[in-house]
Amino acid sequence: MYRTIHLVFAAAALIVAGLIPSVGHAQSGFALKGHYIVNSSSADDAREARQLPDADAFGLGVEYVLPLGIGVGVSGYTASSEEGQVENREFTILAEANYFFDIPLIPVSPYLGLHAGLGVLDQDNVSDPDLRLQDKNRSQLGYQLGVRVQLNELLGLDAQWRRMSTSADANQSSRLERNQVLLGVTLF
């Protein structure tokens, strides 16, 4: 009896593995990505720490995932926020490299990676137009951890946590460091 149950489970596993041969890992090849970015700092935290609040953002990018599970890509995002009498605008371009871990039989691929980026930050102070932002450039290095769920051969869903560090430029203050959470779609 137990032998029959084990054979049935083994046969079912082989059938399922044969039905989904390409979704046990992140799809390889060229992809377009779109994501919504949630930044960590709030306006209250920013006022207390005397730093600029980070706005949520939308981003677009391209990625090429090699069959070995290594993905390289470029993405950009823009953010804008109004807090009181101050309006902030940001544009950032990131280059990233990720390694996707293959988990057999399930369409989930955790990944980790590194990124480097350049950005421009602009600020208008409506109550005092002469008060301008001193540090307008954002050079950043960082790392990310994420998971991609491959729904089919053309569509993947991503969830990622990213640490943005401004340690790339000695002249930048630590007030620009932050964490981000990304939720996105990848089209192959």
Instruction: Specify whether the CB–CB gap between 69 and 26 falls below 8 A.
Output: yes
Instruction: Specify whether the CB–CB gap between 100 and 65 falls below 8 A.
Output: yes
Q: Does the pLDDT at position 20 exceed 50? A: no
Q: Provide the mean pLDDT of the chain.
A: 76
Return the pLDDT at 139: 80
139 against 6, higher pLDDT:
139
Q: How confident is the model at residue 36 (pLDDT cuts 50, 70, 90)?
A: very high
Please give the domain boundaries of the chain with CATH numbers for all domains. 2-187 (2.40.160.20)
Plot region of 160 (φ>0 → left; ψ -120 to 50 → alpha; else → beta): beta
CA 22 remoteness from chain centre: 23
Q: Which of 121, 101, 123 is nearest to 166 (CA)?
A: 121
